[in-house]
């Protein structure tokens, strides 16, 4: 499971020019699910996201988590995070999970993130052609890969 975290001032997802979800200050989470992912991957990454200290404290030091700031999280599925670009110029997405595997994991990820934050988490729509807008704050962008925990 690969996640790209972007600390944002605001972010939104539109589908066919209609706003599906939007947040203010918080995190945009781009989520890539691979076939080998399990509930352990979900739990590890969700805990990392919830507790990652990337928000400024009163001294301006990145010392607070999304839990401490009561910020929002917007989750957008993005299978292209598993692109393999080793050969040729056309990326291969063979590691990305097929929808029958990815959708249940995506839904579990949303549920776990909501539980950790203690509030509903807005999302994009799995498999949809989405337009994602954001104002990156910092910029702070972090990549997490559950297969590289150690």
Which residues belong to the active site?
A: 78-80
Quickly list DSSP for 122-150: -B--TT--EEEEEEEEEEEEEEEEGGG--
The tokens for 88 are 């040729």
Quickly list DSSP for 62-83: EEE-HHHHT-EEEEEE-GGGG-
Contacts of 128 (CB under 8 A, 6+ apart): 15
Give the count of beta carbons closer than 10 Å to the beta carbon of residue 120. 11
């Amino acid at each position: 499971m690969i996640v790209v975290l972007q600390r944002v001032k605001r972010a939104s997802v539109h589908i066919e020019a209609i706003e599906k979800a939007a947040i203010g200050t918080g995190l945009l989470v781009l989520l890539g699910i691979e076939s080998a992912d399990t509930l352990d991957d979900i739990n590890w990454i969700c805990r990392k996201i919830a507790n990652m200290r990337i928000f400024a404290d009163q001294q301006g030091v990145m010392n607070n988590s999304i839990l401490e700031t009561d910020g929002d999280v917007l989750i957008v599925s993005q299978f292209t995070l598993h692109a393999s670009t080793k050969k040729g110029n056309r990326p291969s997405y063979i590691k990305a999970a097929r929808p029958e595997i990815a959708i249940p994991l995506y839904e579990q990820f949303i549920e776990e993130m909501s539980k950790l934050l203690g509030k509903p988490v807005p999302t994009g729509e799995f498999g949809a052609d989405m337009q994602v807008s954001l104002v990156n704050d910092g910029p702070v962008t972090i990549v997490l890969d559950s297969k590289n925990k150690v």
